[in-house]
């Protein structure tokens, strides 16, 4: 009988319930790797005060031990800014995005959790976790593991450079550019020094190849269940859905741009249209738009199906980012078509000619105003759904990923 791999899976935030894209990606890949035969223990390095339920997690994932190390990352904006300022003053050359993982206490506690144990593979489920083994100059990977694998959710440096470009206030612009430089230095060094990397999108994989050509690479896309699309019997004509983490900068940027430039003009011409906004994260910035005609700001909901079920379309007005958009794959899995930018479908391997695409304000307005005249929406959607179901089926993704891990030893 083939030996099971003994894996330690490190995760940066408590995963269940899976309320955002990163959590969904972790949940599906880990769970289906276990189904494929992996023997997994988990070590969470999650924010202080974050709710957790170890028994629920072990039952859902069928895993072994679950350990926890907490890091300082306040949930409220002002305490978080104060915490960032303290970290910046203490370690100005450490990227702020990884600072809560790189403190001496966190590194010491992670090291203690690994003592006396032995694993074939250490999976770092996000770049930030590499900071737990970084002394400011070098990565000191634990001797208790044979191989270190980075599960790269996003090409982080790209997000920071784009944020710097978009910022108009010069002091913030310079700060973001400086942080982008630090993130690039940290990320590039990590990509070169881990044993292997599993990228979530083909676009990210190609970028990583140019930085770390000697590092073992594979594509491990987001996997979902395509077997149970939602019924269309309760769809409300003219109901649009935006779903995503509301304080993630690419989501916030895209939705804010759409509300500022597109929605009011469209809803004037189509008074029955409604846009429902759903997602976790801090969405207080949306209060400025409350009362806008046809806009339904709901925020976090317990069952995402309650939002998808009545939606005729989902909207993805994303203008920058990396990785694969969970909401693209999820929308197709739920059985709903999308209206999006090209950036919004990056990594999904869709046939662009069969997607409702818009980039500029004029294109968005024209497309939304003319939806009823389009004759091939359903057939195009079904063709693309079948196409991506073959690539993003969660069981197959788990089997392929686990087979790749075994080849690393």
Contact between 284 and 262 (Cβ < 8 Å)? no
pLDDT range class, residue 248, cuts 50, 70, 90: confident
Query: Given a cut of 60, is residue 323 above it in pLDDT?
Result: no
Do the strands 274-278 and 295-299 form a parallel or antiparallel pair, or are they unpaired?
Answer: parallel
Task: Dump pLDDT digits (tens) for 119-156.
Answer: 999 999 999 999 999 998 999 999 999 999 999 988 88
Task: Dump pLDDT digits (tens) for 298-322.
Answer: 998 989 999 999 999 999 999 887 5
Peptide bond into 128 cis (omega under 30): no
**What's residue 85's pLDDT?**
85
Backbone phi, psi, residue 42, to 5°: -120, 140
**What's residue 80's pLDDT?**
82
Q: What gap in Å lies between CA 193 and CA 24, rounded to an integer?
A: 27
118: tokens are 């032995």
CB under 8 Å to 81, separation ≥6 — which residues? none
Distances (CA, A) of 105 to 73, 85, 244, 340: 14, 18, 33, 43
| Whole-number average pLDDT of the chain | 93
**What's residue 79's pLDDT?**
83
Query: Given a cut of 60, is residue 1 above it in pLDDT?
Result: no
pLDDT range class, residue 384, cuts 50, 70, 90: very high
What mean pLDDT is predicted for residues 261-270?
Answer: 97
**What's residue 316's pLDDT?**
95
Contact between 43 and 10 (Cβ < 8 Å)? yes
Q: Is 390 exposed, middle or buried (0-12, 13-18, 19+ CB in 10 A)?
A: exposed
Percent of the chain with pLDDT over 90: 77
Q: What gap in Å lies between CA 208 and CA 216, rounded to an integer?
A: 10
**What's residue 322's pLDDT?**
59
**What's residue 19's pLDDT?**
82
Query: Given a cut of 60, is residue 324 above it in pLDDT?
Result: no
**What's residue 148's pLDDT?**
98
Q: Return the SS3 of 151.
A: strand
- Structure-model confidence comparison of residues 384 and 85, the more confident one: 384
Q: How many CB atoms lie within 10 A of CB 352?
A: 9
Question: Helix H segments across 36-114?
Answer: 54-61, 77-90, 99-102, 104-114
Query: Given a cut of 90, is residue 325 above it in pLDDT?
Result: no
**What's residue 349's pLDDT?**
82
What mean pLDDT is predicted for residues 209-221?
Answer: 96
16: tokens are 């269940």
Task: Dump pLDDT digits (tens) for 386-405.
Answer: 999 988 999 999 999 999 99
Query: Given a cut of 70, is residue 2 above it in pLDDT?
Result: no
β-sheet with 66-71: strand ranges across: 66-71, 39-47, 6-11, 119-124, 145-152, 196-199, 216-219
- Structure-model confidence comparison of residues 133 and 165, the more confident one: 133
What mean pLDDT is predicted for residues 184-213?
Answer: 94
């Amino acid at each position: 009988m083939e030996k099971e791999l003994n894996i330690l899976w490190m995760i940066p935030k408590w995963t269940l319930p899976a309320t955002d894209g990163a959590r969904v990606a972790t949940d599906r890949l880990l769970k289906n790797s276990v189904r494929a035969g992996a023997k997994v223990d988990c070590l969470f390095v999650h924010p202080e005060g974050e709710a957790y339920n170890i028994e629920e997690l072990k039952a859902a994932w069928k895993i072994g031990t679950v350990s926890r190390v907490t890091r300082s990352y306040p949930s409220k904006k002002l305490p978080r800014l104060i915490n960032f300022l303290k970290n910046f003053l203490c370690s100005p050359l450490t990227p702020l995005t990884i600072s809560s993982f790189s403190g001496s206490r966190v590194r010491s506690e992670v090291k203690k959790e690994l003592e006396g144990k032995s694993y074939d593979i250490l999976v770092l489920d996000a770049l930030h976790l590499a900071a737990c083994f970084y002394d400011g100059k070098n990565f000191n990977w634990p001797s208790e593991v044979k191989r270190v694998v980075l599960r790269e959710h996003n090409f982080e440096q790209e997000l920071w450079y784009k944020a710097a470009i978009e910022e108009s206030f010069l002091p913030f612009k310079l700060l973001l550019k400086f942080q982008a430089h630090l993130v690039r230095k940290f990320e590039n060094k990590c990509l070169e020094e881990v044993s292997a990397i599993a990228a979530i999108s083909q676009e990210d994989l190609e970028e990583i190849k140019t930085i770390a050509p000697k590092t073992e690479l594979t594509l491990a896309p987001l996997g979902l269940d395509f077997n149970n699309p939602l019924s269309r019997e309760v769809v409300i004509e003219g109901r649009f859905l935006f779903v995503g983490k509301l304080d993630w900068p690419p989501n916030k940027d895209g939705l804010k741009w759409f509300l500022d430039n597109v929605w009011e003009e469209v809803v004037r011409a189509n008074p029955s249209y409604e846009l429902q906004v759903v997602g976790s994260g801090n969405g207080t910035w949306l209060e400025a738009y409350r009362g806008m005609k046809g806009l339904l700001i709901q925020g976090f909901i317990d069952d995402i199906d309650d939002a998808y079920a009545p939606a005729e379309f989902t909207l993805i007005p994303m203008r920058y980012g990396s990785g694969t958009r969970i909401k693209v794959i999820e929308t197709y899995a739920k059985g709903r078509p999308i209206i999006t930018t090209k950036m919004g479908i990056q990594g999904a391997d869709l046939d662009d000619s069969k997607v409702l695409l818009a980039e500029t304000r004029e294109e968005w307005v024209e497309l939304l105003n003319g939806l009823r005249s389009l004759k091939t929406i359903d057939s195009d959607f079904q063709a693309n759904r079948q196409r991506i179901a073959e690539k993003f089926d969660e069981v197959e993704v788990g089997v392929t990923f686990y087979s790749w891990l075994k080849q690393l030893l």
